[in-house]
Structure 1
Amino acid sequence: MLLTISGLPGSGTTTVSRLLSEKYGLEMVSAGEVFRSLAKEYGMNLAEFGALAESDESIDLKIDERQKEIARTRDDILLEGRLAGHMAKKAMKVWIKASVDVRVGRIITREGGSFEAKLSETIGREASESIRYRTIYGIDINDLSGYDLVIDSGKWNQFQITNIISSAIDNISYF
């Protein structure tokens, strides 16, 4: 089974992906964790590293090429990341969404900081990513038409979302 979970920062993709990977025995590959570790290696915060990635396409290309290769060559994988649904052609594709206020609240819980600072950072990061995705791949990150399932994580908790996705997995015919 190949499953992709995508969404904007703070939407809950990593938490739900971990729950699903445990439930179905899937190896989880997270683009966000790779991006965060690269930012740390460069000694930058996410906003700074995102700005660097805007001028250096090789950063996104490395992360995305790794996901494409994994999707092509391995079974029983869960790819988690903003573009994962675009990187894996034959997969069940899920987008998890939430309002910016909900997402920023979760980011503060995870990382600390003030609402105003995290809101500004999140909006800047998303604008930076949107530019990069459109420039590098011609992808409009706001176009959700390619996803099999779109779930609002502001309405359900991680366990309920996992159950919704599990129901779809257990009832879909192309796995």
Structure 2
Amino acid sequence: MLLTISGLPGSGTTTVSRLLSEKHGMEMISAGEVFRSLAKEYGMNLAEFGALAESDDSIDQMIDERQREIASTRDNIILEGRLAGHMAEKALKVWLKASADVRVKRIVSREGGSFEDKLKETIEREASEAVRYRTIYGIDINDLSVYGLVIDSAIWDQFQITDIISCAIDNCSYF
């Protein structure tokens, strides 16, 4: 089975993917972790690295091509990342959503800093990503039509979301 978990920063994709990976014994591949590690390698914060990625399509293409390759050559994996649902053809595709306020509170809790600074950084990052995704791939990140399951992570906690997705995994014969 191939499972994709996507959502905007702070929506819970990494947490839920890790829980699902443990519960179902699936390998997890995270585009966000790859992006963050590349930002560190370049000595940049996420906003700075996002700006660089806007001017250098090869950064996104490298990450996304790797996800496509993994999706087409491996079984029993979770692809976690903003575009993961677009990088896999036949998969159970999940989008986690939450309001910007909810997501930024989670980001502040995880990373520290002020709410105002993280809100500004998150808005800039999401705008940067939206431009890159549209320019590079013609993808509108706000179009959720490719996802078979959209879950509001402001309503459900990570364990409830894991249970909802597990139910879909256990009862889905298409994938």
TM over 0.5: yes
Q: Partners in 1 of 2:171 and 2:90 — Cα distance?
A: 17
Q: Partners in 2 of 1:174 and 1:151 — Cα distance?
A: 20
1:112-151 correspondence runs (5 A)? 112-151=112-151
Please list the CA deviations of residues 47-90 of structure 1 after superposition, one character each: whole Å capped at 9, or x if unmatched.
00000000000000000000000000011110000000000001
Structure 2 residue 110 is the aligned partner of structure 1 residue 110: yes
Counterpart residue number, 2:29: 29
Q: Partners in 1 of 2:99 and 2:78 — Cα distance?
A: 24
Shift of 1:131: 0.1
State the TM-score, normalizing by the size of structure 2.
0.99
Counterpart residue number, 2:75: 75
Counterpart residue number, 1:16: 16
Counterpart residue number, 1:85: 85
Shift of 1:126: 0.1
Counterpart residue number, 1:157: 157
Q: Partners in 2 of 1:87 and 1:134 — Cα distance?
A: 14
Runs of 4+ in 1 over 4 A off after TM superposition: none
Q: Partners in 1 of 2:78 and 2:64 — Cα distance?
A: 14
Q: Partners in 2 of 1:74 and 1:13 — Cα distance?
A: 20
Secondary structure of the 1:145 match is: coil
Specify every segment of 5 or more residues in structure 1 that has no aligned partner in the other structure, as ranges: none
Shift of 1:174: 1.2
Q: Partners in 1 of 2:12 and 2:74 — Cα distance?
A: 25
Q: Partners in 2 of 1:99 and 1:8 — Cα distance?
A: 10
Q: Partners in 2 of 1:70 and 1:127 — Cα distance?
A: 27
Shift of 1:173: 1.3
Task: Using the aligned pairs only, state the percent identity.
Answer: 83
Please list the CA deviations of residues 34-57 of structure 1 after superposition, one character each: whole Å capped at 9, or x if unmatched.
000000000000000000000000
Q: Partners in 1 of 2:51 and 2:110 — Cα distance?
A: 22
